Amino acid sequence: MAATVDLFPTFAAVAGAPLPPQVTLDGLDISPLLFQNQPSPRDTYFFFSDNVKPSLGVSAVRWNQYKAHYNSHGGLCPDTYPDEVCRGNFSLHSYDPPLLYDVNSDPGEIYQLDPTLYANVLSQIEKVKEAFESSLVWGESQMDRGTDNSLQPCANRTCVPTLAAWPGCCRTATSTERGPLRLVDSSPLIP
């Protein structure tokens, strides 16, 4: 098992660079997995919904071959999609006990495992989840701060960007005008 959060520590290890000493990273160095055919150092991964809040905590936990879902709130599928949990109109649901899947034999997470038959697995996942959540330091939600379209450079399709004017060349317009994207200065960044 590996995750994108493992890239930074892995790149640092491969480059021989030290990790920041006062920062706790969720990622692990997976270079032994990549270059020495060793097992992954990761046996657990924590999933958060796109609406991360301390009150919700972790949405799902992958531990070894098992994945437990504690809450879900729909996805990007149309509202007519056969699996209602994947529909965009599916509201937040919490599960107690969590929905449990064996992702090695069921990567689509279609067939729920009976929680009474896997009580020891759920107990272990719960211990791992509690330890992780107790160590979390929640930062200020960047999503709750709102948006400011003026901070999106070069999203205005009527803009004529130039390297000399970067990055303020094309602040996003507040109007809905559309036009062709025209690049004026096509000189290479590196001579």
Of 130, 71, 75, the residue nearest 98 (C-alpha): 71
Matching residue, tokens 């004026």: 184
pLDDT digits (tens, 9 = 90+) for 120-175: 999 999 999 999 999 888 888 777 777 765 555 555 556 665 655 555 555 544 44
| Tally of CB atoms within 10 A around 91 | 8
Q: Higher-confidence residue: 74 or 123?
A: 123
In this predicted structure, what is the pLDDT of residue 174? Answer: 43
DSSP annotation string for 69-102: EEEE---SB-TT-SSGGGBTTPPPEEEEEEEEEE
Q: Higher-confidence residue: 157 or 5?
A: 5
> 3-class SS at 167?
coil
Asked whether the predicted pLDDT for residue 52 surpasses 90, the reply is no
Give the mean pLDDT of the chain: 81
In this predicted structure, what is the pLDDT of residue 187? Answer: 46
Task: Tell me the backbone φ, ψ of residue 38, rounded to 5 degrees.
Answer: -95, 160
In this predicted structure, what is the pLDDT of residue 142? Answer: 75
Determine the average pLDDT of the residues in 33-43: 94
Question: What is the b/e burial string over 116-144, where b = at least 16 CB atoms within 10 angstroms of the residue's CB?
Answer: eebeebbebbbebbeeeeeeeeeeeeeee
Q: Higher-confidence residue: 2 or 74?
A: 2
In order of start, what are the domains of the chain with their CATH numbers?
1-42 (no CATH), 43-143 (3.30.1120.10), 147-191 (no CATH)
In this predicted structure, what is the pLDDT of residue 34? Answer: 95
In this predicted structure, what is the pLDDT of residue 33? Answer: 95
